[in-house]
């Protein structure tokens, strides 16, 4: 590490296996003013690491840097491991860790029902809209989850995987929102059927995600499958559970990207509605 510029960082615990393993080669996959994405040569997930400044969205696969990085050329060789990352002439040492899947605790169904109505109203009044027609595969996914139908859910999830343009296609963002909502809110509300559904849908969408969508999106799907999410998504989950105001949290989420925030919000809404339905379903059997 001699001769390198040293930067500290706070890493998601999702990255602990990659960062604490022996050094592995990586390359610059994408570079933007506030974020640089590295693709690690590994068969394990997450295989894409986001190096972000404090102003960027804190993704579940992120290392938040204490200082910004200079723009790096695509394909530039780097390495990851032994608690550090080497990029060009910069060495990044992980100083602390943060959890992208903190537990919500318990949440009363009546509170969640009121939050769903409020969240629906916020999203309906927003100018931000999902990138896909929700009457198509998203609608099938939502109705399948409401009914607790694994077959309908998997069929719709397969159609959504990789659907849409960009680094994170709209279909993938919708799936990410849905998966984390089913898992976290299902646990919080005592809806085991929702958690069961999250497990099976997660297995279906991650099975061949690398071959069907972008590397960045595949990594985020693997994170969502474990209940790991970015800070804006976690903020809405905390708000829905009653731990902070919903309006500012929802606005922050909806402001992400061109359609990513609205796509994630759609998934959260569909997941929350399913949790409420499946809790009643569970209680009636």
Segment 210-214 shows an average pLDDT of: 93
> What's this model's pTM, rounded to 2 decimal places?
0.94
* Tens digits of residue pLDDT in 53-101: 888 889 999 999 988 887 777 777 899 999 999 998 889 999 999 999 9
Q: Which of 45-49, 179-183, 242-246 has the lowest mean pLDDT?
A: 45-49
The closest of 229, 236, 243 to 198, measured between CA atoms, is 229
Q: Could you give the CA distance from residue 82 to residue 216 in angstroms, rounded to a whole number?
A: 23
Average pLDDT for residues 115-125, to the nearest whole number?
97
Q: CB-based contacts of 165: which residues, under 8 Å, 6+ apart?
A: 131
Q: Is the pLDDT of residue 1 over 60?
A: no
* pLDDT at 133 > cutoff 60: yes
Q: Where are the alpha helices (DSSP H) in the chain?
A: 16-20, 109-125, 137-146, 150-160, 170-189, 192-206, 209-212, 215-225, 231-240, 246-254, 260-283
Stretch 167-191: mean pLDDT? 97
pLDDT at 88: 83
Q: Please, are residues 77 and 27 in contact by the beta-carbon 8 Å criterion? A: yes
pLDDT at 228 over 60: yes
Is the per-residue pLDDT at 285 higher than 80? no
Q: State residue 72's pLDDT score.
A: 75
- Cα separation, 19 vs 201, in Å, equals 28
Neighbours of 44 (CB within 10 A): 11
The predicted model gives 169-176 an average pLDDT of 98
The per-residue pLDDT for 281 is 61
Provide mean pLDDT across the span 239-245. Answer: 96
Coil, strand or helix at 22: coil
Closest of 60, 128, 104, 130 to residue 240, by C-alpha = 104
Tokens of 104: 């919500």
Q: What is the mean pLDDT of the chain?
A: 92
Task: Give the pLDDT of residue 3.
Answer: 63
pLDDT band at 128 (very low <50, low <70, confident <90, very high): very high
Q: What is the CA radius of gyration of the chain?
A: 19
DSSP 241: T
- The closest of 3, 5, 72, 4 to 39, measured between CA atoms, is 72
pLDDT digits (tens, 9 = 90+) for 2-33: 567 899 999 999 999 999 999 999 999 998 88
């Amino acid at each position: 590490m001699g001769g390198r510029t040293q930067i500290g960082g706070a890493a998601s615990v999702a990255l602990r296996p990659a960062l604490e393993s022996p050094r592995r080669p990586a390359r610059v996959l994408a570079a933007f003013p506030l974020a640089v994405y590295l693709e690690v040569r590994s068969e394990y997930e997450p295989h894409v690491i986001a190096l972000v400044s404090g102003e960027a969205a804190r993704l579940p696969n992120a290392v938040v840097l204490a200082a910004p990085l200079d723009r790096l050329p695509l394909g530039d060789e780097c390495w990851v491991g032994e608690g550090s990352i080497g990029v060009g002439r910069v060495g990044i040492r992980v100083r602390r860790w943060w959890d992208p899947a903190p537990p919500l605790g318990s949440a009363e169904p009546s509170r969640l029902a009121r939050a769903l109505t409020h969240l629906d109203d916020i999203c309906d009044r927003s100018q931000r809209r999902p990138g896909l027609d929700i009457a198509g595969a998203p609608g099938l996914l939502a109705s399948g989850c409401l009914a607790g139908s694994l077959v309908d859910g998997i069929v719709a999830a397969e159609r959504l995987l990789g659907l849409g343009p960009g680094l994170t296609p709209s279909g993938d963002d919708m799936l990410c929102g849905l998966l984390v909502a089913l898992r976290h809110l299902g646990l919080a509300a005592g809806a085991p059927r929702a958690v069961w559904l999250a497990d099976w849908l997660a297995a279906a969408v991650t099975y061949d995600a690398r071959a069907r969508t972008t590397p960045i999106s595949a990594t985020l799907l693997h994170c969502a499958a474990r209940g790991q999410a970015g800070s804006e998504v976690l903020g809405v989950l905390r708000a829905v559970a009653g731990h902070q105001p919903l309006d500012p949290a929802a606005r922050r989420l909806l402001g992400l990207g061109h359609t990513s925030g609205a796509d994630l919000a759609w998934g959260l809404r569909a997941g929350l509605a399913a949790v409420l339905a499946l809790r009643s379903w569970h209680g009636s059997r």
